[in-house]
Structure 1
Amino acid sequence: MKIAYILILFTLMNLCITFKPKAQQIEVLDSTIIKNTFWNSKALRISTIPVILIAAGGGTWGIRKYVRAFRNRYLPTFRYHYDDYLQYAPVAAVLGLNAAGVKGKHKMGRALVSYAFSAAIMASVVNTVKYTARVERPDGSTRNSFPSGHTANSFMNATFLHKEYGQFQSPLYSIGAFTAATATAVGRELNNRHWISDVLAGAGIGILSTELGYVVADKIFKDHGEHIKLRHNPIPVTLHPSFLELRLAYAKGLSRDLTEKTEDLFAKSGFNFGLEGAYFFSRYIGLGGEFAFSSFPMNDDNLSFNDSGVALVSDGHYTQPMGIRYIHAGPYFSFPLSQNWFITGKLGAGTASGAKGEIILRIKENYQELFRTNELPYYRYKPQSAFSWSAGFGVQKQIKRNIGIKAFVSYFNSDNDFSMDIIDQINPDGTYAFKNVGSEKVRFDNITLGLGLTAFLW
């Protein structure tokens, strides 16, 4: 509860500083006039994405161990500490561009003051929560995991580059900045230093810290130290909405027939993440592609073995999660509504490739010396590549000129041939030999519901 109180206080501080209750009139780029109420206020614009990320940190708390199991299965020995350095790339870019004479939104003195306030806010919030919550790291090294300081720092730096150059020169600076920040966050998980909830909350804190730092600096400097006065409100979209999008979703398998008896082995609810983008020829239609991955823990509570020796040497078993990778391409659709809302859709087709999985026996202690292991892969399955198709629908809101958020639902369908192998012998060198026991075609369809963070490429 202490964590929740601190994060709520942090968000309320942002709203109090930035929201002015008196209605004003502001001019947008197409010369229309709108009321500056709470729903289109600066407070809501700068806090929406951070609040969603912080909430996602809390929402993924219950599945964090599943995500770690996914990492441990596919990349258990990953040890590349690029994230220790990449977190500083965006702020280094700001300093380098300024030194090269490329103008940012503010003169360097004012920009550094904004950055100093941002860093102070970020560090105080991160460290207060870290040493109050005392969450153990995935690798068990210390109890200061939540939230991720590296991720908070990287997203603070990315937002700094975005505000100084992405909003002033080109959105490509913003895309590069947040790509580096996202890669840093992923690195914290791959290196087994943080849970997914840590990096999501850290990203939200980092972005909101920079926004608050700029609010404080704006109150100090007013219009001094600016190279140009920018309009901050999002514009009604009249251009082609080409985009890149990062998405995370809850996934529900709709098929259960992974074995002859459906109650023996079936997929439970899992998660889906992906990256997609599209080039639009008009306001309404474009072509694009998607890379997505779904992972599903397996329910094997009722699975039994015909071999009586299994019960003799083991005292249980577990099944590795099933992972399916999708690479799709096809038409994308966007229908603009009022107030910068969109209805989006897509149809895709391509391939679905599965990662092999194993049913693993937990060997009894008195047999571990004989087998030279405490876990023995007994059964192996491998879904073969197959044709697949997908469809999706979304509701999207543009909250800044080049940034949007989307709530979406997607459907994935494929018929995969599963190759089945059973352990045949243990070789003298400790490796295992398997023999094929057949194959089975399985219709594997699943539905995903989640959120996407969109970068518009105007």
Structure 2
Amino acid sequence: MLSKSLNTSSCVKNVCLTSLILLFISQSTIAQRIGVIDSPIVKQNFWNSKPVRISAVPVLLIAGSAATWGIRKDVRSFRNRYLPTFRYHYDDYLQYAPVVAVLGLNAAGVKGKNKMGRALVSYAFSAVIMGSVVNTVKYTAKVERPDGSSNNSYPSGHTANSFMNATFLHKEYGQYRSPLYSVGAYTAATATAVGRELNNRHWISDVLAGAGIGILSTELGYVVADKIFKEKGQHIKLTNNHVPVQLKPSFIELKLGYTQALSKDLTERSEDLFAKGGFNFGIEGAWFFHKNFGVGGEFAFSSFPINDDNLKFSDVDIPTISDGHYTQPMGIRYIHAGPYFSLPLSRNWFVTGKLGAGTAAGAKGEIMLNLKEDYREIFGSNELPYYRYQPKSTFSWSAGVGIQKQIKRNIGVKAYLNYFNSKNDFKLDIIDDINPNGGYTFKDYGSEKVRFDNLTVGLGLTAYLW
């Protein structure tokens, strides 16, 4: 039964928001700045003054860094649980993708906002500012990296560089030609930032601070270049058309929602363990070959905190060594693909739908005993894993509907309702022995099928690929 269940704590909600925060703030920046640029008359006051416009997003990101400092180890434990063996160093290269795009577009004759000489001067000042700030803070703060390899973790240099480059592409082509350049740039920067966490090289606070420093550095670099060049070295401004030239709503989307378990396997309150409502976080995208029909897929996580207040242990020695326990939340990740649907309405509204099928795998979890102080030294730990559980991979399917609003040419928001269903083999082990080196051995405690059907209500941030 759900004595065979799993997942993470409520602060993990802050964990999953990392990439959503970065991409949402970045794309909100796109919307704000393009709106300001396209307005023929802008009433000047404090809130739309240039210092506020160029510093608002960096300040939010740096404030987010400070706010997440206390939970950074919890965020890392979430990574260690779901993707403990992640070792893909794409972030070493992806950080340079936006600046390579600027150079490549110029070489191909695609004009940006500035002529190449002025653009490179702006970029040079940005790089000097970014490098100076990052390295000064790194070797002053001396924060240890998550993997313990060195004491120069804060802030993330890779993330600062990637967001500096992304803002460079945004200012040269996103503001001048199409917001789609900005969407791509900040998506690559966000992927770099998340990669630094997944590769266990940085804390969440490191990458949020790095993103803020990177964006602000480019903004300041352009301020300096503007003072030097004034009106020289700029191309004639293009008109940004916010109405799509075609109505095939291909997209990439980040989504976050509240998930309510439906199955008795998860919610039966007469048992010792049962699932509370949790959250769902994921990314999805679709290519539309017709204005109403397309194909796509999604990759997402669902997490259900577990109520174990009534859990009783048969071992009479447990009250002697432990003064409490907790159960890691029940987690499942899935990859689905299938048909997508879109019905355009008036005023840039859309009704959306999808059907998907694929595979779902549960995350390993444990029921932990909180050891009394007298036994912590004996066991070499503050806690002891008593039960261990693992849902195995299986077939799963989902269906969803949504209402979507296009707020900019390439940006939209969506409210959605999604149903998910899978039935996983659920294996439970119980601790059997503690090795001399401190390792644990477990023995089989049984297994059964657990149905993971749930309903999610949430919001999505959409990047249209018109």
TM-score exceeds 0.5: yes
Displacement of 1:280: 1.3
Tell me whether 1:281 sits opposite 2:303 in the alignment: no
Q: Give distance in 2, aligned partners of 1:51 and 1:412.
A: 37
Deviation at 1:158, TM superposition (A): 1.9
Q: Does 1:291 align with 2:299?
A: yes
Q: Pick from 417, 441, 445: which aligns with 2:454?
A: 445
What do the CA deviations read for 1:225-273 (whole angstroms, capped 9, x no partner)? 345642235234533221223x142433334853754574344555433
| Pairwise CA distance, 1:275 | 2.1
Match of 2:430 in 1: 423
Q: CA deviation at 1:148?
A: 5.0
Aligned positions of 1:1-400 closer than 5 A: 24=40, 50=57, 54=61, 57=64, 61=68, 66-76=74-84, 83=91, 86-95=94-103, 103-105=110-112, 106-116=114-124, 118-119=126-127, 139=146, 145=154, 150-164=158-172, 177-192=185-200, 194-196=202-204, 199-200=207-208, 202-203=210-211, 206-207=214-215, 210=218, 221=229, 224-226=232-234, 229-236=237-244, 238-245=246-253, 247-255=254-262, 257-258=265-266, 261=269, 264-268=272-276, 270-336=278-344, 341-350=348-357, 351-364=359-372, 375-384=383-392, 385-399=394-408
CA distance, structure 2, for counterparts of residue 173 and residue 420 of structure 1: 47
Distance 1:213 1:232, change over 3 A: farther
* Cα pair distance change 1:354/1:287, threshold 3 Å: same
**What is the number of equivalent residue pairs in this alignment?**
422
Q: Which one is further off, 190-199 or 268-277?
A: 190-199
Q: What are the Cα deviations for residues 82-105 of structure 1, in whole angstroms up to 9, with x where unaligned?
A: 64564344324544665x565441
| Contact 1:358–1:378 under 8 Å retained in 2 | yes
Q: For residues 417 and 34 of structure 2, what CA distance do their matches in structure 1 show? A: 38
Amino acid at match of 1:317: H
Distance 1:345 1:290 in 2: 15
Q: CA deviation at 1:274?
A: 1.9
Check the 8 A contact 1:352/1:414 in 2, yes or no.
Answer: no
Correspondence for 1:3: none
Tell me how far 1:325 sits from its aligned partner.
1.2
What do the CA deviations read for 1:176-202 (whole angstroms, capped 9, x no partner)?
644431232112322445554654565
Structure with greater contact order relative to length (CA < 8 Å, sep ≥ 6): 2
Residues 267, 276 of structure 2: 8 Å contact kept: no
Distance in 2 between residues matched to 1:273 and 1:290, nearest whole Å: 10
The CA distance in 2 between the partners of 1:262 and 1:223, in whole Å, is 73
Among the aligned pairs, what percent are the same residue? 56
Mapped contact 1:334–1:342 kept (Cα < 8 A): no
Residue ranges of structure 1 left out of the alignment (5+ in a row): 1-10, 26-35
Aligned to 2:441: 432
Determine helix, strand or coil for the equivalent of 2:266: coil
Give the CA deviation at 1:391.
Answer: 0.9
Counterpart residue type for residue 413 of structure 1: F
Distance 2:86 2:290 in 1: 43
Residues 250, 450 of structure 1: 8 Å contact kept: yes
Unmatched runs of 5 consecutive residues or more in structure 2: 1-27
Distance 1:422 1:63, change over 3 A: same
Contact 2:86 2:198 in 1 (8 A): yes
Query: Does the residue aligned with 1:308 lie in a helix, a strand or coil?
Result: coil
Q: CA RMSD in A?
A: 4.9
Q: Deviations over 1:267-293 (max 9, x none)?
A: 455543322111112333322211112
Match for residue 415 of structure 2? Answer: 408
